[in-house]
Amino acid sequence: MAGVTNPPFRRLCRESGVAGLAAAGAASATAGATSATVGATSATVGATSATVGATAVPSGDGDGEAAPAAASPSGPFAPAGLYVSEMITSRALVERTPETMRMITPDPAEPVRSVQLYGVDPATIGAAVRILVAEDRADHVDLNFGCPVPKVTRKGGGSALPWKRDLFDAIVTEAVAAAREASAGREHEVPVTVKMRMGIDDDHLTYLDAGRLAERAGVAAVALHARTAAQHYSGTARWEAVARLKEAVTSVPVLGNGDIWSAEDAAEMMASTGCDGVVVGRGCQGRPWLFTDLVAAAHGSDLRVRPGLREVAATVRRHAELMVEHFGEEGRALREMRKHMAWYLKGYVVGGEARHDLGLVSSLAELDERLAALDLDQAYPGESAEGPRGRAGSPKAPHLPDGWLDSRDMDADLLAMISQAELSVSGG
């Protein structure tokens, strides 16, 4: 989830996951059994992410002040889950643009530094992975083939790319090889995972072929958002596709994504599909405490966080403080916070004027004033605060390069076009 799963939000989500782990009494028991290559709950924030990303893997995009697990050194263990970065463009990383280098800078307390990469050129992806691994900037790399945004798909990237089997295979194979080579001298090989959609539309499904290709290339896990690119975020995720992928991919974990709004949803997806874990994206928007529920449930606890408005306001304030610390500029930090306000306040009675004003805050002092004016004694509103977050939109024909669907393989003209694709994808 672009602009959402930056280090401040990932920290809130990770801390919530750690709280769930502690509540389940499993912190010490799972620390040695949970790795970046296996997951029961994950969240991507950075698309989305992002996905977003944030990935929780109790054995999850967002994370009480950190229990010991949150302060553990970087490495392969994620006791309270993985929390994946915003989507990083591989070309921008290779060119070391200042904004991209800032975006890959993790919260120092992140036990597993998880970076989500986007790219369309195998060599560029490989070079980006080498930078992340050889320079000790990441402990896990996630390749994004799920983004349905037109500026990505019209250049053959994101959810459009797996249609071209040879290109997909080359990118994933190069990324895994680069991670393996650059991991020499490290205590563990940095795992590469893949996230994708079902395909371009119902007539051009790719997920089973792509899953098998990724498995053969040596990825550590495969995640599926059970929608096509044409669906965008509309309708209902088709969890039966996750079950089919689990049947097709047998040697690495399969993670499911789509319509995970609660711990109960996660449990239902895993039970109905047989998948090894879940990926949470939009479900954590304005609800970092969702990861307390997810991690607790994964360890058999019935703990569920149901915050009143005072607790929500305190989280908003802390989120803003972390954003100021991250950006080093109060004005920019508060502008970035604006998109979060409606998500945090979903279901609470605050009034249209207050929502509007909170969406325009430009300083911490102004934020304090606006929050103090709310009826902070409100209890958790229940169902109205739960369920879908963000805009679902409606089905739409994906924007694709001319002739993209004519063949499952690349030709010279498309190769020339796609070499320029990353230049138009900004923000990392």
Instruction: Pick the catalytic residue from 13, 147, 275, 284.
Output: 147
Q: Are 171 and 213 in contact (CB under 8 A)?
A: no
| Kind and range of the H or E run holding 114 | strand 114-118
- Length reported for the chain: 428
The C-alpha atoms of residue 321 and residue 55 are separated, in whole angstroms, by 23
CA dist., res. 275 & res. 253, Å (int): 7
Query: Cα(350)–Cα(226) distance, rounded to whole angstroms?
Result: 34
Is residue 147 among the annotated active site residues?
Answer: yes
Best CA proximity match to 197, nearest among 148, 243, 246: 148
Q: Are the C-beta atoms of 146 and 53 separated by less than 8 Å? A: no
Q: Sign of the C-alpha dihedral, residues 126, 128, 133, 134?
A: positive
The residue ranges of DSSP E strands in 258-322, in sequence order, are: 277-280
H or E element at residue 116: strand 114-118
* CA dist., res. 78 & res. 41, Å (int): 11
Looking at residue 30, the DSSP 8-state letter turns out to be: H
Give the active site residues.
147
